[in-house]
Structures are given as structure tokens and as C-alpha cells.
Amino acid sequence: MNEIPNNAVRPPLLTIVLISGTALAYEVLLMRLLSILQWHHFAYMIISLALLGYGVSGSFLCFLQQRLIQHFTHSFIVNIVLFGVSTVACFQVAQQISFNAEEVLWDPPQLLRLFAIYLLLALPFFFVANALALSLIRFRDQVSRVYAFDLIGAGLGSMSIVFLTFVLHPLPALMVLGILVMVSVAVAAWELSIAARVKVTAGALLGALLLAVAIDHVDLTISPYKGLSQALRIAGTKVVDTRSSPLGYLSVLESEQVPLRHAPGLSIKASVEPPPQVAIFTDADNMTVITEDAGDRGAFAYLDYMTSALPYHLNSPGHVLILGSGGGADIQQARYHGVPRITAVELNPQLVDIVRDRYQDFSHDILNQDGVELHVSEARGFVTQSRDRYDLIQLALLDSFAASSAGLYALNESYLYTVEALQVYLRHLEPGGYLAITRWIKLPPRDTLKLFATAVEALQRENKAHPDRRLLLIRSWQTSTLLIKNGLIGDEENSALKTFAADRAFDVAWYPGIEEAEVNHYNVLRQPYYYGAAMALLGPKRSAFLHNYKYDIRPTYDDRPYFFHFFKWRVFPEIMALRGRGGMPLLEIGYLVLVATLFKAVIASAVLIVLPLIYLRRHNTPMSQDRVSSPRVLWYFFAVGLGFLFVEIGFIQKFILLLHHPVYAVSVTLTSFLVFAGVGSAVTQRIVQAGGHRRATRYAIIGIALFAMAYTWLLGPLFAHLAALPMALKVIASVLLIAPLAYCMGMPFPLGLSRLSTAASHLVPWAWGVNGCASVISAVLATLCAIHFGFTVVITLAVLLYISAAVSFPRVMQTTGPLKSR
Amino acid sequence: MHVSLHRGQRRGAQWVQSVCLVMLTVVFSSSIDSAGADQYQRLRAGMLDAIRADYQDTAVYIDKEKADPRVLAAMGQVPRHEFVAENLRDVAYENRPLPIGHGQTISQPYIVAVMTDLLSVQADDRVLEVGTGSGYQAAVLAELVSHMYSIEIIQPLATQAEKRLQGLGYKNVTIRHGDGYYGWEEQAPFDAIVVTAAAGHVPPPLIAQLKPGGRMVIPVGTRFLVQELLMVVKDNDGSVSTRQLLPVRFVPLTGGH
């Protein structure tokens, strides 16, 4: 690997595309893998912090850039090799560390394990960041070009990983990424025309082969406390099939000896045992079941002993829409009640395949029965586009109790339970029809009350008079079902409700004309919390009640779609005082994990940013000579790093409302942002030649501000017009809308970098590191802001950050740019 | 100090764990490494103090004036350290749940106390437990009642608990390996039933095997964190109702409503 004279070397652009793409794909895949092994929010935290590898790389290169640049080809290739090896090796070692989040409270050493996991998983990102940063430094005269290919590679990576994870299971997908990195080693050798390129190619291919063999010996080490692991402890259970896609890793579990008897929310008065069942776990948790249908209708009588059966006792719905049909229990329930026409919607096509193919006989072909019509689609998107009206819309329990009760969904956006979503459902009800939403009961009450508040708000927005006369709420010890009627509830329904509830030992919590003496009889709580809350939420004291309640149960909106976020800081000290005696579950842990992640990211970033600066001051040419103020450099790259991801994350959420499907929406939006930002970066050089750095930066940032602000106002009404279009056209519309904004966003970072490389080139790796740290902080901060203030505020903040960047970098380096998302 | 929790653990990462182990050992366990019987007695007394203190705050909330002294006395008798792995003995009396392998845990002492207390057992009661686990809850109840019946679905745990309880001299505990859903028909009805395994719903056969006037207690939550306690009460006339209790004092509303 001898160095070649400078002038002969061109930037290894293809290699950059490959490794940048693989790095982004790896990040997405790691999220998938860790969501299977652990719980989603810990996966989120671990990966956020692992991405600090980019920041570490910046600091590292501050110390060693001169030495490494002297041997650029060497360093570049070695870092790629290490990236490839670590993608597989670090994951394998990290997953062996038995970290159990629930024990952190009592068992401080758990934190050491968590720290070890961060470090291990940061390594791959560190190596790939080194390779990328070395290219930016080495080819500083072509910064915007190199960065353009970095962004475009990332864009392609974000798209490819979706396809890859649809086709392959996570571990084989990991193997493909490892092999791709090895291929890029060979590509690099040829692009850089090194003398030993043939040998390097042979070595890389051998490496690829070894990685492939190694992967074969890796198994997923799933936390023993997840639902699947727990079920597998029981003799006679085995996983008979697995499917994998970006929507989740499905494990089909059969139990030969002990029946599964899955019937959450079953009345204590039920005496019928559920028929034999097969379980399907998503990401090793979140169980849904397929129930055997041997032709005996009576076997499904237990489904009449659920709170969700209430609407079937109020009228005889002719057409029922089931949102989230899963293994088919809600379809069975509707069939049990003799519903002639059932439309079912399920998001995950692999789940549908399992029910329809593998268990066709077992389930008596439930999805193809006469009168049953199944659609593979996202629930809200389906209803939005549906031209039908329904007598009953059932929104099933889509999440598991354990995860829900532990507050693990706090970070998940959900567009199913917002005021706007409920309005959409209500508009698709026949006169006299019902919307039924079943939720887990938690103590103290949380999501049922938030849902109630959201329903009241939706009814008011729909200008429905007397919301109190359109709502019914019942509860068992495990589930609650809220009914919203398209019409006023009459005495007949009231008495049917009372009979239904009394026969099943369910408590009524709200119906028009309810008396306090009727509530809290069967499942006795210390206070009639649900009734009291319903009264308050329907009365004049609503806002005081929401304020005084110890959990956040305010209605959720599309702009702040965190239905599962209940945490209030005000109550934190009280709960912490109770933690020793079992008060811990009162905390909504998901939110605190987010805060902890931000805290750690900020501390780590501060260290990573300050240390190299001290070193550079001591060992390098004095800053004054560069005529560059390092605080300004810091703020410029930091603001641009924060701003880029704020805009990206904000608009990903906005576009979900048009594209609906969680995977496609994120993939289309993210890819468009990255690719068009790449295009923007590619043309900056030309723009600079025409008008100078300062002017270019100013134009770019004005463009960002204009488009971003205009979109926050215009997208809503625009999407309403586009809603009925076919998916392909919606995707094209999204890409076209994102293009100009992303194009402008691609400029500030390379503009800043190219200015820096002439004015103070030793600061280039530092700026790269600052940008890396900013993007980690940004992702976490954006979610936190969105939880509290909504995505519109996130986007507005991004615009302010960009403007502050433009202002903060005038003197020598009047310009600037952002950083790509990773 | 580390129990192998994950399935299919491989040698590849043992060094990481070893590092953790060494650090832990140094930091945490040097002081009470070789605790003798006296030492455990002292730790147990400390545990009871912790439970009493917790009760003081919470008692009203779980419909109890204060902890039943018989329950505390029972917990003062049971050598909890015998119910955990060797390497966790030092922390056995801390007020925290601990892993016992097989993805299971031994509950936090405070929760054990509350659950036992809620059952309101009398000396001549027959009690059924579904989910033996380590056998600790069964031992505590065995101190209080005439006979304990306990069912465990995970074979190795059942065997281990049986051996352990025998070794400790508990003659009034009968353990069976099997599915607890149908209860223990031959020994029914029971004055009290405690279900320590997570339940998707309350198994109807268990309700049927509860005597009129009997109580059943079920913890709801995850393996390490109990969210709430569900108490099923069968009145003397045979009617059944449930109560949902938080094990801590926490009112969802602050003043001003």
C-alpha cells in the first residue's frame, strides 16, 4: 500500500458512497436487532450513544490527523477494515453482556454493563467516521464533493436497508453489511490505485468469507425477561417459524403441553377456557394469538366476556371495521356475534401470511371466510382513504400490557390515538354507529383517561353537541373499553350496558345519567377514579383536573402524538421517595430513559469537544493566526448539526401523516432528505465560485427558513387534498416537496468546512466531531421538544438555529453548513 | 455476583463479565463475604425494619393499619439467603427483587410481606401457591398455616425448591411440577391462593377452588417491578369481586380538584 503522488489521487467517491451507506444501514439494523434483544427504548438509547462514535472520531483525529494524513491510503483502508470487522464482532460481544434495565435501581453494576455496550457499539461508527473524516481532510479542496457522496451514500443506505430487512432476517442482513464493507475495502484499493490492490482485494474477499462464516455461529441472545423467553421456559413450547421485516421479527410459538389461554381482560365470571392457540410474538414480545376454530361456535363464548364485546350488545352492527386484526381474535369476536360483514386491517403482511397460510386449517381460514375482507394497510391511513361507513369501528389492543404498563412506549409516536385520528374515525361511522377503543387498565389510571380526554376534545372539534351523551366507558381489572357513538345514547342502550356489565362483573365508569352509587362495585379501587375523572373531563373543572392530575393525560394531537407519554416532572420527587417500596413502576421509564440519554450525550459531547480544543491550543499554531474564533466555529457547526436533524425529524413526522405506513414514510422521507442534501452539497463549490462562501451560506439558510416555515403552514391543508391519491403519487409528491428544502440543507456544512480548511485546516476534524456530537444530541433533543411542545416547535427551533449559525460565523468564515443525519 | 441470565450464553464475552465481576467483588462484597448465622440474623432484622418503615407510609393504602406481626415474625424466621444463588447471598436481605435464573425472580421482601398480609391467613388454613419459584413465598406462608400446596411449571425450579424446603425442614409444604391453571383439585378448596406467576387472566378453576370467605392475591407487572396487586375476594355467599391495590401510597390527584 505505497503512497501515490498526490496529484494522481482522486477522492475514493465510490468507496465513500459504500461505507456511508453501510454505516447508515448498520445503524438501522442495530436498532432492529436491539429491539428484538432488549426493549425499544433501550435500543434507542444505546444506539443514540453509540453514534457518539462520530464525535469520538473527530476528537481522535484532532490528535492524530497529521500522522494519519501522511499515510492516507493506509489509514483510510485500515479504518474500513476495522469498521467491517467491528460491525459483526462488536455486536456479538455486546449482546452477550447481560444488561437488565429493570435492575439498574438496585444493582449499580448494571450501569457498567450498559457502558460496556455503548463502548462496543460505538466502535464501528468510530472507524467509519475516521475513514470519512480522513477523506474530508485529505481532499479538503473538494470537501463539498466528498460530503455530497457521503450524504448520497447515506440516503441509498437508508433505502436499501428497508429492502434488505424485508428479504433477510436480521443476522443474515448483518452478514451482508459486513461483506459490503469488505467489498468496499477492495473498491478503495482500486480507486486509490494502490500498488498492492490485488493482494488487498484477495484479503478483503477472504475477510468477507470469514465474516460470513462467523455470522453463522451467532445467535440472538434475547433478554430472558421478554415475553418470548418467558414462554419458552415452559415445557413443550417451541418456535416453529420466524419471519422478519422492518415491521418486526415474528416468532411463531406452539405449545404442546400447556395451552396458551390468551384472553386478556377476560371477566372473572367467565367459566369457558379459550380453545387451543398458537402465539405470535413481535420482537420477542407483544404476543398475539391465532385461536383454533374447530367449527364449534360455543368455543368462542369467552370472547363475549371481554370489555370489547360491549358494542355487540348495544345494537347489531351490520358492518364492522377492525383496526389491527393481528391473529384474528377480534374477527372471531365479531363472527361470534353474528356480524355479516367484517373489514379487517392489519399492518404486517407477514403476520397475515402466517394466519392465512400456515394456520389456514387451524383457524378455519378465518381471513377468507365469507363476509370477512382483509386489508394489509396502516390503520389510520386505511380509514382516511375509506369511502365506506361502518356501524362499528373496533380499535384493538395493539400493544402488550407489560410494555405499556412499564411506560416503555413513552417515546413512540402514535397517530392512532390523536384527536385528529378520532375525528377521522368518527366521520366514518354510520348514524348510530360506535367507535370502540380498548386499552389496558393501569393503576393509577393513565391511558384510559387520556383517551377519554382525547375523545371529548375530538367530539367538540366535530361540533357534536352533548359529548357527555355520546360516551360510554366500562372497565374490568385489566382492560377498559371506551365507546363513542355517532348519535345520542338513549335509555335502551344504558340498560343494555348495565346488564352487560353486571353479568360480567365489569364496572361502569361513564354513561349518560350515571350515578355515583353505581360505580366501583366489582373491581374495587380505593376511589372511583374513572368515574370521577370522566365527570371532571366532561365538566367545567376539566382544565383544573388535567393540571392537578399527577400524570399527563391531556389530549394528544398529531403535532404532539405521544399518547403513551404520561410523565410529569412535578411528581418525580414523590415517586423517587417511594422507589424502595415498589414505587418504581409509577415512573414512566421511557421518558426518563430519553432524558438520561440526553444527559449522557451532553456530558460526553462536552468532553469530546473541549479536550481536543485544549490540545490544539497547546500544540498547534495559535488560533489568532487563523483569524478564526473557535467559539464561533463551535456554534456554527453545532447549530447546523442540530438544525439539520431537527428539520429532518420534524418533517419525517409530518410526512407520516401523508404516507401513513411507518416504515415507508420514514424511508422515503429520510432518503429524500439525504440524497437531495447530497445534491445541494455537490453544487456548493460552483455557487461559491460565483458568489463567495458568505453569500452562498446566506442564500442556503434563507432557503431553509422559507421552505421550512412555509411547509409547517401549508403541508396540513395540502395533505388533506392529496389524501385520496394512490400511494405512488403520494410518494412522488413527498419527494418533490422535500427536494428543495433538503437541497438547501446540504450546503451549510460543506460551506463551513471548505472555508475552515483554508482558514484553519487543523480545525476540520474538530468541526467534524462537533457536528457528530450535535447530531446525537439533536435526535434526542428533538424528541424531547416534540413531547413537550410538538413538532412544529421543533421545526421552528431548527430555523432559528440555522439563522443563528449564519449570524455567528461572519468574520473570516462567513459561512456555513449542516450535518447529515445518521 | 452475576447469575447467567441469558440463554445460550457464549464464551466470547466472558471477559467482559469477568471484569464486571472483579470490580463488583472488590466494591461490594468484601465486607460481608463470609457472613455467619449471626450476621444473617442481623441482616434479617434489618430487612424487617425496612418493611415496617415502608408499611408505616403505606398501610392505609393497602387497607391495613400496620403490618401483621405474625407475617413479620414469619419473615424473620425464613432464611432468605438460602433461596438465592450463592453469589447473591450478601444482598439477599436487601429490599429488592433478585434473579433466580430461568428468567424468574424472588420478590422484593416488602412485596412478599404485603401479599402475605393481604391473604389474611389463619393457622389452620390450607393455602395454594401457583408459581413456586425459589420457594421463598411458600416458606413464609408455611410458617403461618397448617399446609401449603405449591405448583411450579418450570421443572428445574420445582425440583430445586422442593429440595431446598426439605433441607430447611419445611414439612408442611407440598410442591408439584405442573400447570397451575387448574389449581390442585385433590386438595381444594383453599382458604387462600397466591399466584406469583404472571397471569393473562384469573384462571376460572382457581376462583372455583377458593373457599367462600377466601382470598386470592396476584401481583401484576413485570418480573422485577410489581405494578399493582390484584386481590380476588370470594364472599361468604360465593359472589366474587376484585380489588386493585397499589403497594405504595400514591394518590393520582393533587389538591385543588
* Residue-range domain boundaries for chain A: 1-222, 298-572
B60 to chain A, any CB pair closer than 8 A? The answer is: no
Any idea what DSSP says for residue B253?
Answer: B
Look at residue A265 in the predicted model and tell me its pLDDT.
86
d(CA A251, CA A638): 43
Would the CB atoms of A268 and B111 count as touching at under 8 Å?
no
Task: Quote the ipTM score.
Answer: 0.88
Closest chain A residue by Cα to residue B58: A581
Distance CA A154, CA A175 (A): 19
- The arithmetic mean of pLDDT across residues B4-26, rounded, is 44
Note whether A535 and B238 are within 8 A (CB).
Answer: no
The amino acid at residue A72 is F
The tally of CA atoms less than 13 A away on the side-chain side of residue A677 is 32
Count of alpha carbons within 13 angstroms of residue A663, beta-carbon side? 19
Set of cell numbers at residue A172: 443474515
- Contact map slice: A 586-625 vs B, CB within 8 A: 586
Could A98 and B4 be called an inter-chain contact, meaning their C-beta atoms sit closer than 8 Å? yes
> B interface mutation test: which of A477, A506, A527 has the most B CBs within 10 A?
A477
Active site residues of B: 107
Mean pLDDT by 10 residues, chain A (822 residues): 52 97 95 89 85 92 89 95 96 91 82 92 96 93 93 96 94 96 96 92 94 89 92 94 94 94 91 92 92 93 96 96 93 96 95 95 94 94 94 85 58 89 97 96 92 97 95 95 97 96 96 95 93 96 95 95 92 83 78 90 92 80 58 91 95 93 90 97 88 87 96 93 91 97 96 86 89 92 94 96 85 44 38
Half-sphere exposure of B234 (CA within 13 A, CB side): 21
Helix or strand (DSSP H, E) at A40: helix A40-50
Give me the residue from A105, A261, A529 closest to B200, CB to CB: A261
Q: Which of residues 107-126 of B touch A (CB under 8 A)?
A: 108, 110-111
Q: How far apart are CA A407 and CA A428, in angstroms?
A: 31
A36-50, B46-60, B127-141: range with lowest mean pLDDT:
B46-60
Same fold: A1-222 with A298-572:
no
Q: Give the pLDDT of residue A685.
A: 86
* A-chain residues near B242 (CB < 8 A): 268, 477, 505, 522-524
Distance from chain centroid for Cα A783? 10
Is any Cβ of chain B less than 8 angstroms from the Cβ of A103?
Answer: yes
Rounded to whole angstroms, the Cα distance separating A403 from A286 reads: 8
Q: A580 to chain B: which residues are within 8 Å by CB?
A: 50, 54, 95, 110
For residues B48 and B71, is the Cβ–Cβ distance under 8 A? no
Strand partners, A238: A254
Residue with cell string 459531547: A605
Q: Which amino acid appears at position A413 of this protein?
A: E
- Closest CA–CA distance from residue B171 to any residue of chain A (Å): 27
Of A229, A402, A551, the CB nearest to B252: A551
Q: Map grid coordinates 452478514 to a residue.
A: A175
CB-based contacts of A119: which residues, under 8 Å, 6+ apart?
A: none
Query: Shortest CB distance from A405 goes to which of B207, B221, B255?
Result: B221
Q: Does A224 touch chain B (CB under 8 A)?
A: yes
Report the pLDDT value the prediction gives residue A43, as an integer from 0 to 100: 85
Which superfamily does CATH assign the domain made up of A298-572 to? Vaccinia Virus protein VP39 (3.40.50.150)
Q: Please report the domains of chain B, with CATH numbers, ordered by start residue.
A: 37-245 (3.40.50.150)
Whether the CB-CB separation of B92 and B83 falls below 8 Å is answered with yes
**Residues with Cβ within 8 Å of residue A85, at least 6 apart in sequence:** A178, A207, A211
> Is A372 within 8 Å of A333 (Cβ atoms)?
no
Min distance B54 CA to chain A CA atoms (Å) = 6
Residue of A nearest to B113 (CA): A581
Given B110, B201, B252, which is nearest A478 (Cβ)?
B201
What is residue A560's DSSP assignment?
B
Distance CA(A103)–CA(A523), nearest Å, equals: 31
CB contact under 8 A, A268 and B232: yes
pLDDT of residue A814: 39
Nearest by CB to B13, from A93, A102, A550: name it: A93
B169 in A contact zone (CB under 8 Å): no
Contacts A224 to B, Cβ<8 Å:
5-7, 102-103
The class of domain A1-222 in CATH terms is mainly alpha
Is the pLDDT score of B242 beyond 90?
Answer: yes
* Residues of B (220-239) whose Cβ lies below 8 Å from A: 220-228, 230, 232
**Facing residue for B250 by CB, picked from A223, A405, A583:** A583
Instruction: Please confirm whether the linkage preceding B189 is cis (ω < 30° from 0).
Output: yes
DSSP conformational letter for A355:
I
Nearest to A321 by CA among A345, A300, A337: A345
Cα-Cα-Cα-Cα torsion A577, A578, A583, A586, nearest 10 degrees, comes to -50
Q: Which of A88, A97, A103 to mutate to test the interface with B (most CBs of B within 10 A)?
A: A103
Chain A to chain B, count of Cβ pairs less than 8 Å apart? 220
Q: Using the beta-carbon criterion (under 8 Å), do B155 and A264 form an inter-chain contact?
A: no
CB contact under 8 Å between A550 and B225, yes or no, is no
Q: Which of residues 141-160 of B touch A (CB under 8 A)?
A: 153-155
Contacts of A649 (CB under 8 A, 6+ apart): A778, A779, A782, A783, A786, A791, A794, A821
CB contacts of A221 in chain B (<8 Å) are 6-10
CA A396 – CA A415 distance, rounded (Å): 14
Q: Is A109 on the interface with B (CB under 8 A)?
A: yes
Q: Which residues of B touch A233 (CB under 8 A)?
A: 102-104, 153-154
Whether residues B222 and A112 touch (CB distance < 8 A) is answered with: no
Does residue A209 belong to the interface with chain B, where contact is any CB pair within 8 Å?
A: no
**Sign of the C-alpha dihedral, residues A587, A589, A594, A598?**
positive
Q: How high is the pLDDT of residue A815?
A: 37
Mean pLDDT computed over B60-85:
87
Angle between helices A52-70 and A589-619 (to 10 degrees): 20
Q: What integer pLDDT is reported at residue B62 of this predicted model? A: 64
> Are the beta carbons of B242 and A268 separated by less than 8 Å?
yes
Contact A263 B200 (CB under 8 A): yes
pLDDT in tens, B192-235: 999 986 667 899 999 999 999 999 999 988 888 888 899 999 99
